[in-house]
Amino acid sequence: MLELRPSCEACGKALPPDSSDAMICSFECTFCKACATATLRNVCPNCGGGFEHRPVRPRAMLAKYPASAERRDASVDHASHAHYLQQYAAKPPSQR
């Protein structure tokens, strides 16, 4: 089950469970759409994967399966990410 992390791991922006702005990779690294597309260029700085919109959990299920309240540090190692960009930016996520 998805954690539904509460904030962007790059800029710290709040991403509540019903946010249409949340993007995740296959490991659930969570970023806002602006960071995922413009800053990170669809390359996760933690795993090198691509991003997809995070699904919204129905309200009725949030009570039974609440979103995570644990915030991740809002920091990206830009040197490491530059390496990922060099390696993966030209390849679609399915071929990385």
Domain range enclosing 11 = 7-67+74-86
Establish if 92 belongs to a structural domain. no
Establish if 54 belongs to a structural domain. yes
Establish if 45 belongs to a structural domain. yes
pLDDT for the residue 34: 98
Establish if 26 belongs to a structural domain. yes
What is the block-wise mean pLDDT of the chain (96 residues), using blocks of 10 residues? 96 97 97 97 94 96 95 88 92 92
- Number of structural domains, the chain? 1
Establish if 94 belongs to a structural domain. no
pLDDT for the residue 71: 92
Establish if 20 belongs to a structural domain. yes
Establish if 91 belongs to a structural domain. no
pLDDT for the residue 56: 96
Could you tell me the CATH number of the domain that includes residue 45? 3.30.40
User: For residue 9, how far is the Cα from the chain centroid?
Assistant: 7
Establish if 93 belongs to a structural domain. no
Q: Give Dmax over CA atoms of the chain in angstroms.
A: 43
SS3 of 79, please?
helix
pLDDT for the residue 73: 85
Give the C-alpha separation, 29 to 12, whole Å. 13
